[in-house]
Amino acid sequence: MKFYFSSQHDQRDRLGTEYGALKFIYEQGVLDVPQPIFIDRAGLMGIYDWIDGQKIIPETVKTADIDLAVNFLAKLKDLSSHPDAQQFNTASEGCFCAKSIIDHIQIKLQRFQSCPTDTEEFGKLKIYLDKDFMPLLKEVLSWVKNNLGDISFDREIEPNLRILSPSDFGFHNALRESSGRIKFLDFEYFGWDDPAKMIVDFTFHPAMHLSVELKKDFYQKILLVLERDASLRNRITCYYPLLGLKWCLILLNEFIKNDLKRRQFAMVDANDASTIQQRQLKKATDLLMQLRNSYKKFPYEY
């Protein structure tokens, strides 16, 4: 039984999106996800079959697990051509061109402008955004526009290049059964997306802590699945620094009151707001430093 967070500040239909996605996937014979059993929209609750599995510790991930993840994404790619796939909307914060990533970054920046500035943590946040983040954003944006080649900055990719994506995909949202099989969870943000964004997000997600070699393995194998997408490699290269900057802001979500409430609703962090914010700002600072030194080349190409 899963209850879903909702507030006046976030009207996304998390329950409907996840239940509908899992129903569609499961009914097509893809059994790598929980089977949906019952939906209670009034109670914001869904019931799914029980998975007798364990959380996946990042240090235990092997090449065989990367194969399972890639195989699942390959199945989703095949399902993307199913007639019933058109029922789905764009994935949460999905993007089909570089400009749409910039738009999402600007929206996130605007949210921070409404934050109170009467604590030490918020003072440090403002310094980080003004002195570090904004200058690198300007530099990266100029570099991306000069390196897109034949890819348009603001014209969306063709529909045939888009795929159905879990959006928040990785081993942090999965359980390993005793047989070794992996079941993938959390489809609240499911929908259509550019596979370049899905690939880059997989390598960035802070909850996975995968080694460089495993990320390279994932990259090479998922490219084979999407081999007919001629501009994919270049989109990945150009999306990498933009999505990296976006992840710097995602790491700071706990400075937004409603996002902090959602974290506490999910009971994933028992620390007080100040401790959480200090920790997340440190993560964002470290990631920004990493990007500053590496943004001109996707780091997981052999």
Domain total in the chain: 1
Would residue 195 count as lying in a domain?
A: yes
Would residue 87 count as lying in a domain?
A: yes
Residues 230, 160: contact at Cβ < 8 Å? no
Tens digit of pLDDT for each residue in 133-144?
Answer: 999 999 999 999
The β-bridge partners of 36 are: 48
Q: In what order do the strands lie in the sheet with 174-177?
A: 53-55, 174-177, 182-184
CB count within 10 Å of CB 225 equals 18
Would residue 12 count as lying in a domain?
A: no
CATH code of the domain in which 179 resides:
3.90.1200.10
Tens digit of pLDDT for each residue in 4-35?
Answer: 988 777 778 999 999 999 999 999 999 999 99
Would residue 299 count as lying in a domain?
A: no
Tens digit of pLDDT for each residue in 32-73?
Answer: 999 999 999 999 999 999 999 999 999 999 999 999 999 999
Residue 274 binned pLDDT confidence (cut-offs 50, 70, 90) = confident
Would residue 46 count as lying in a domain?
A: no
Range of the domain at 94: 56-294
Whole-prediction pTM value?
0.92
Q: What is the DSSP letter of 25?
A: H
Would residue 13 count as lying in a domain?
A: no
Average pLDDT taken over every residue of the chain: 93
Would residue 151 count as lying in a domain?
A: yes
DSSP secondary structure letters along 37-98: EEEETTTTEEEE----EEE--GGG--HHHHHHHHHHHHHHHHHTTSGGGGG--BPTT--SSH
What is the C-alpha separation between 55 and 268, in angstroms, rounded? Answer: 14
The β-bridge partners of 39 are: 46
Q: Hey, is 82 helix, strand or coil?
A: coil
What is the C-alpha separation between 48 and 50, in angstroms, rounded? Answer: 6
Q: What is the DSSP letter of 10?
A: B
The β-bridge partners of 47 are: 38
Would residue 259 count as lying in a domain?
A: yes
CA angle 130, 102, 236 (to 5 degrees): 115
